[in-house]
A = this chain, B = another copy of it.
Amino acid sequence: MTHKIAILGASGYTGAELVRIIATHPTMEIVALSADRKAGMRMGDVYPHLAHLDLPALVKMEEIDFAGVDLVFAALPHGLSQALVRDLPRGVKVVDLGADFRLRDPAAYEKWYGQPHVAPELQKEAVYGLTEFYRDEIRDARLVAGTGCNAATVQYALRPLIGQGLIDLDRIICDLKNGISGAGRSLKENMLFAERATNVEGYAQGGRHRHLGEFDQEFALLAGRPVEIIFTPHLVPATRGILADCYVEGDPQAIHAALARTYADEPFITVLPFGRAPGMGHVTASNLCHIGVIPDRKENRALIVSTLDNLTKGSSGQAVQNANLMLGEDETTGLMLAPVFP
């Protein structure tokens, strides 16, 4: 049985990555692609690497007949999904790759995104899309909220430790190295090649990054009390990938054991042998996440390094993984692509 898929916001990088993945997915068929400003163009003109595929032309969102659609991937700038999802026929399942449904609390949403949510009832309904931890709810969900790419990378490293009380909750520091595709395809001077090619720079330091809303929500749920991590993302001269260094206080061996146990049967998450650290380039273009635990010379200190591809496991691959569950497919269908290296 083939599932009819629509992708909204197909002209962004996560939209293109969805198309790339679905191109070899055995039971998904793309029946509609929207991109408001590029409506009328063919996908192959917007993304020449997809020109060989037989794809519907880009249309405006309102031109799509959702009656023939089983599942929608919404890869829209934040703010645009709320009304859209609210107005879709109830029978259409939705995986939202943006930020609109990640936070359950309307006040938290307004705090981090600067405006009230227009569909607070959907905020409640939406299931948080970190598949390995919300698998059962996702299977039955109509609306799944894809996580932030940074949020996924760090949560894979920390959730089992916070949940099991293995680390000091007041001293968690996460330093991230981010490939630049995470900034999307919109035009900003500081995203020009010449600005970034020989540069490394942090941004939104000190507690200003919006993905903190997700961390605060999820870690508080796990800990049963507020948890505020320190979080610094950095732009490095790479296109894809996030490498997160998480510095914690706790017993390194116990931390490693907890992670290894948690992910023992997970198809996409690999915990490396104790003391070994992963490299960002070894998960590129795959749905894999590699995690390592390194003990420090200082007692009771550990470094947990987690890495994934922001466009795949951090966004579009995760979205397909969730859609597989929602559509009754095996979770790994179409997602066992091996990483590209070098």
Contact = CB atoms under 8 A, between A and B. Distances in A.
Given A192-B191, A193-B191, A290-B48, A199 B281 contact: yes
B49 A201 contact: no
A245 interface: yes
Interface in A302-342: 303, 305, 336-342
Contact of A247 (B13, B23, B173, B189): B173
A275 B206 CA distance: 9
A284 interface: yes
A254 to B, nearest CB: 16
Nearest to A309: B340
A282 B48 contact: yes
A180 interface: yes
A21 B205 CA distance: 33
Contacts of A181: 194, 342
A177 interface: yes
A236 interface: yes
A252 B234 CA distance: 20
Nearest to A268: B52
Nearest to A269: B52
Interface stretch (A61-69, A86-94, A140-148, A291-299): A291-299
Contact of A239 (B24, B194, B205): B194
A35 interface: no
Interface residues of A, number: 84
Contacts of A193: 180, 191-193, 195-197, 237, 239
B52 A288 contact: yes
B48 A278 contact: yes
A142 B102 CA distance: 57
Interface string A3-20: 000000000010010011
B341 A340 contact: no
Given A197-B180, A280-B200, A340 B20 contact: yes
A237 B197 contact: yes
A2 interface: no
B189 A187 contact: yes
A88 to B, nearest CB: 28
Interface in A128-183: 171, 173, 175, 177, 180-181, 183
